[in-house]
Amino acid sequence: MPNDTTMSTILIVDDDEEIRYSLGRVLGSRGYHIETAGSGEEGIEKIKAGLKPDLIMCDVRMGGISGIETLQHMRSASSSLQIVLMTAFGTAQTAIEAMKFGAYDYIMKPFDVDKVIEIAEKAISSSQDMKSANKYEKKVNYDDYKEGIVGNSPAMQEVFKVIGQVAASDATVLVTGESGTGKELIAKCIVQHSLRSGGPFVAVNCAAIPDNLIESELFGHEKGSFTGATTQRIGRFEQCDRGTIFLDEIGDMALATQTKILRVLQEGEIQRVGSTETIKVDVRVIAATNKDLEKMVEEKEFREDLYYRLNVFRIRVPALKERKEDIPDIVDFMLQNLVKERKARVTRVSPDALKAIVSYAWPGNVRELGNVVYRSAVVAQGDAILLKDLPDTIRGASGESAAAVAPAAPVPPAEPVAAPLAAEKPAGISESAAVESTAAAAEPVPMPAPVLPVAEVMPISLPAIYDKLYHELRERQEMRILTLIERQMIERAISETGGNQARAAEILGITRNTLKKRLDEYASE
pLDDT in tens, 30-80: 899 999 999 999 999 999 888 989 999 999 989 889 988 999 888 777 777
Could you tell me the pLDDT band of residue 343, with boundaries at 50, 70 and 90? confident
Strand partners, 13: 37, 58
With a CB cutoff of 8 Å and minimum separation 6, the contacts of 92 are none
Bigger pLDDT: 406 or 123?
Answer: 123
3 state DSSP class of 313: strand
Neighbours of 492 (CB within 10 A): 19
Mean pLDDT, residues 198-227: 92
Mean pLDDT, residues 326-341: 93
Q: Comparing C-alpha atoms, which of 479, 509, 499, 508 is closest to residue 424?
A: 499
Crossing angle of helices 512-524 and 481-496, in 10° steps, is: 110
pLDDT in tens, 217-251: 999 999 988 888 889 999 999 999 999 999 999 99
Q: What is the pTM of this model?
A: 0.63
pLDDT at residue number 479: 52
> Domain segments of the chain: what residues?
9-133, 154-317, 322-404, 449-524
Q: What percent of the chain has pLDDT over 70?
A: 81
- Calpha distance 423→111 (Å, rounded): 6
Pick the CATH number of 322-404 from 1.10.3720.10, 3.40.190.10, 3.40.50.10800, 1.10.8.60: 1.10.8.60
Mean pLDDT, residues 114-124: 90
Residues 22/23/26/30 CA torsion (nearest 10 deg): -150
Ranking 193-202, 232-241, 330-339, 431-440 by mean pLDDT, the lowest is 431-440
Could you tell me the pLDDT band of residue 408, with boundaries at 50, 70 and 90? very low
Would you say the CATH fold of 154-317 matches that of 9-133? yes
pLDDT in tens, 283-330: 999 999 999 999 999 999 999 999 999 999 999 999 999 999 999 999
Pick the CATH number of 449-524 from 1.10.10, 1.10.357, 3.30.1300, 2.60.40: 1.10.10
Mean pLDDT, residues 128-155: 80
Residue ranges of alpha helices (H) inside 197-289 are 211-219, 236-239, 255-267
Bigger pLDDT: 20 or 147?
Answer: 20
pLDDT at 493 over 50: yes
Q: Could you tell me the fold of the domain covering 9-133? A: Rossmann fold (3.40.50)
Q: Could you tell me the fold of the domain covering 154-317? A: Rossmann fold (3.40.50)
Q: Taking a C-beta distance cutoff of 8 angstroms, is the pair 209, 199 a contact?
A: no
Q: Taking a C-beta distance cutoff of 8 angstroms, is the pair 90, 40 a contact?
A: no
